[in-house]
């Protein structure tokens, strides 16, 4: 199973600036970024998004869309790729090009789009070598099923006609589909001459900034210093991940690529990269950045690493019977920061059901409905809190996870978006009830005996700015976020280090850390995107 089996990787418009691009000047195929774009079309145009005349017969994709199958009579004119080459000619066996499998059972043909696309219609051209009538070469499939990456299916009733057979369906956003359960009408050969999937590229993720935004952000000397300081840190697994997220959202794309590539040198026994210290699932915080880098570059090593991380998040990580991964596998514990490890990555990858299930598994165990706050550590075997503190950092991780989950959900998941937005608002209200006059919070949110901590303010401000901009949080929260932002900025020293966060290496006392730097950058990026402008340094 490869990275593009499940990863919704279409950030093409944002990442390579093709949102308004047409085909290349010479009129040939546009394979910029590894995805075929019909000449004269843009990513938002309604078109046959299955088309790729440049596809090759190879299990490792060279470009997308990419067709594969479990049976081909040969790899020249009967290969899986022949069904997406753009030729609708289907009147002969030879010279037309078709997916021509052997006469076997349990056949399947699969199409990987390489990014999320929203479809509302399929069109199939069956090969129509049905003459002479007394001894036809071909039969036809009279029934088939289509499985989609979102878990849905469609049943197709096919006819013995040479024209394209259209199958309208409800719109769905997917990254792959699989044609299967193919039932022939007779014993002769059956083949698919052309397969069309009509729709458009799904909207790209707005949080991946571009060079213009980066240039604007860098006009703030405090941000420039904080970025340099973050990249100068020695980092553990989760810190590498949140640093990558900060670079993406700030538009520091070259640095994000370098960070993802450098993460490949630390691989654990599960094949998960960025595995330096931290908990069982902490490396998955790098998921967005790693997947983005794989998609941006086409680097097979990055692709393999992203796929292995995804599979670990989906099924490889040790987990409770309900599917919630353990933050600490040895002790079988869930921690509040576990809300940020796998769920946002899975949601960004289009695995919405799994993302929501894993987030809710953490939230259900650690949520204190009376306090409207997350407690820190839960023992699954004992079914008890082993650390019931209302740790500020854990509540900040959870708030940021909610903001990222909501923005990744498609429009047709509005009910889920509303439920998560309600959880976020409850959590924000629980935290804001304990906000100090200076805009900051205590390390243990409800305990004035604990030290005054900086990072929760940055985390909450980031979550508020991103959520108000996204439309799932009212603007009334902005004033509180602005106060937090001013307080955090006041704690950045001459070297760009955010002082007073839960400090590395043990995070039990105030100090400095990569995550403190990263959330400062995330906060500043989100503030500007939300229209709050710069702040005098």
Threshold 0.85, pTM exceeds:
no
Sign of CA dihedral 360, 332, 391, 345: negative
Lowest mean pLDDT among 6-15, 111-120, 270-279: 6-15
More confident of the two residues 35 and 282: 282
3-class state of residue 201 by DSSP: strand
What pLDDT sits at residue 22?
Answer: 26
Tens digit of each residue's pLDDT (9 = 90 or more) over 456-475? 999 999 999 999 998 999 99
Mean pLDDT in the chain?
89
What does the angle CA 246 – CA 252 – CA 255 come to, to the nearest 5 degrees? 95
Which whole number is the average pLDDT over 269-289? 95
Quick one: which of 408, 394, 392 has its CA closest to 472?
A: 408
What pLDDT sits at residue 203?
Answer: 57
Q: Is the Cβ–Cβ distance between 190 and 184 less than 8 Å?
A: yes
More confident of the two residues 124 and 187: 124
Asked if residue 259 has pLDDT above 50, the reply is yes
Which DSSP helix (H) or strand (E) runs through 155?
Answer: strand 153-157
Tens digit of each residue's pLDDT (9 = 90 or more) over 284-314? 999 999 988 887 777 889 989 998 999 999 9
- Rounded distance between C-alpha atoms, residue 71 and residue 108, angstroms: 8
Q: Tell me which DSSP letter residue 205 carries.
A: P
Tens digit of each residue's pLDDT (9 = 90 or more) over 397-432? 999 999 999 998 876 688 999 999 999 999 999 999
Work out the pLDDT band at 206, boundaries 50, 70, 90. low
Tens digit of each residue's pLDDT (9 = 90 or more) over 76-130? 789 999 999 999 988 888 888 899 999 988 999 999 988 778 899 999 999 988 8
What pLDDT sits at residue 295?
Answer: 72
**What percentage of the chain has pLDDT greater than the value 90?**
72
- Burial letters for 138-148: b for 16+ Cβ neighbours within 10 Å, e otherwise? bbbbbebebbb
Work out the pLDDT band at 205, boundaries 50, 70, 90. low
Asked if residue 211 has pLDDT above 60, the reply is yes
Quick one: which of 387, 405, 469, 394 has its CA closest to 430?
A: 394
Work out the pLDDT band at 74, boundaries 50, 70, 90. confident
What pLDDT sits at residue 147?
Answer: 95
Asked if residue 209 has pLDDT above 60, the reply is yes
- Rounded distance between C-alpha atoms, residue 480 and residue 428, angstroms: 10
- Tokens representing 237 are 């697994």
Q: Is the Cβ–Cβ distance between 222 and 241 less than 8 Å?
A: no
| Residue 344 CB neighbour total at 10 angstroms | 27
Work out the pLDDT band at 145, boundaries 50, 70, 90. very high
Which whole number is the average pLDDT over 263-278? 94
What pLDDT sits at residue 18?
Answer: 28
Check whether domain 3-201 has CATH 2.60.120.260, yes or no: yes
More confident of the two residues 25 and 335: 335
Q: Name the residue ranges covered by the structural domains of the chain.
A: 3-201, 235-317, 319-404
Work out the pLDDT band at 535, boundaries 50, 70, 90. low
Asked if residue 26 has pLDDT above 60, the reply is no
State the maximum Cα–Cα separation within the chain, in Å, rounded to a whole number.
92
What pLDDT sits at residue 282?
Answer: 97
Kindly give the pairing relationship between strand 333-335 and strand 377-379: antiparallel
More confident of the two residues 78 and 537: 78
């Amino acid at each position: 199973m490869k990275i593009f089996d499940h990863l919704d990787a279409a950030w093409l418009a944002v990442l390579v600036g093709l949102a308004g691009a047409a085909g290349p000047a010479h009129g040939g195929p546009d394979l910029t970024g590894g995805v075929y774009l019909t000449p004269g079309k843009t990513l938002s145009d309604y078109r046959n998004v299955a088309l790729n005349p440049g596809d090759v017969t190879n299990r490792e994709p060279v470009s997308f869309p990419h067709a594969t199958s479990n049976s081909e009579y040969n790899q020249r004119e009967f290969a899986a790729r022949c069904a997406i080459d753009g030729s609708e000619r289907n009147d002969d066996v030879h010279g037309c090009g078709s997916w021509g499998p052997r006469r076997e059972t349990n056949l399947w043909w699969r199409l990987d789009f390489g990014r999320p696309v929203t479809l509302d219609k399929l069109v199939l051209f069956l090969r129509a070598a049905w003459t002479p009538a007394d001894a036809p070469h071909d039969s036809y499939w009279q029934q088939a099923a289509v499985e989609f990456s979102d878990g849905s299916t469609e049943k197709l009733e096919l006819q013995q006609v040479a024209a394209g057979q259209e199958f309208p369906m409800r719109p769905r956003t997917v990254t792959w589909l699989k044609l299967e359960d193919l039932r022939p009408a007779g014993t002769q050969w059956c083949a698919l001459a052309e397969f069309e999937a009509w729709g458009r590229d799904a909207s790209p993720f707005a949080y991946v900034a571009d060079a213009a935004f980066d240039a604007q952000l860098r006009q703030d000397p405090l941000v420039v210093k904080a970025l340099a300081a973050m990249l100068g840190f020695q980092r553990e697994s989760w810190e590498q991940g949140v640093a990558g997220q900060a670079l993406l959202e700030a538009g520091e794309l070259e640095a994000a690529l370098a960070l993802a590539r450098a993460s490949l040198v630390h691989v654990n026994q599960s094949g998960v990269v960025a595995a330096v210290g931290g908990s069982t699932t902490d490396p998955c915080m790098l998921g967005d950045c790693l997947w983005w880098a794989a998609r941006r570059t086409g680097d097979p090593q990055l692709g393999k690493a992203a796929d292995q991380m995804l599979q670990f998040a989906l099924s490889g990580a040790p987990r409770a019977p309900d599917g919630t991964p353990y933050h600490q596998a040895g002790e079988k514990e869930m921690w509040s920061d576990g809300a940020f490890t796998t769920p946002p990555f899975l949601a960004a990858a289009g695995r919405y059901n799994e993302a929501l299930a894993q987030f809710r598994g953490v939230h259900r165990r650690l949520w204190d409905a009376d306090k409207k706050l997350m407690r820190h550590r839960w023992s699954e075997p004992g079914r008890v809190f082993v650390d019931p503190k209302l740790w500020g950092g854990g509540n900040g991780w959870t708030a940021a996870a909610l903001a990222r989950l909501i923005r990744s959900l498609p429009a047709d998941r509005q009910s889920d978006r509303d439920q998560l937005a309600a959880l976020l608002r409850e959590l924000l209200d629980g935290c804001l009830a304990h906000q100090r006059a200076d805009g900051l919070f205590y390390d243990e949110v409800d305990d004035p005996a604990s030290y005054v901590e900086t990072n929760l303010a940055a985390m909450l401000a980031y979550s508020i700015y991103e959520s108000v901009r996204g439309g799932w949080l009212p603007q009334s929260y902005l004033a509180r976020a602005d106060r937090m932002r001013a307080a955090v900025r006041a704690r950045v020293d001459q070297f760009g280090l955010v002082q007073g966060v839960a400090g590395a290496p043990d995070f039990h006392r105030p100090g400095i850390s990569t995550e403190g730097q990263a959330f400062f950058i995330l906060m500043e990026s989100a503030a500007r995107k939300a229209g709050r402008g710069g702040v005098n340094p």
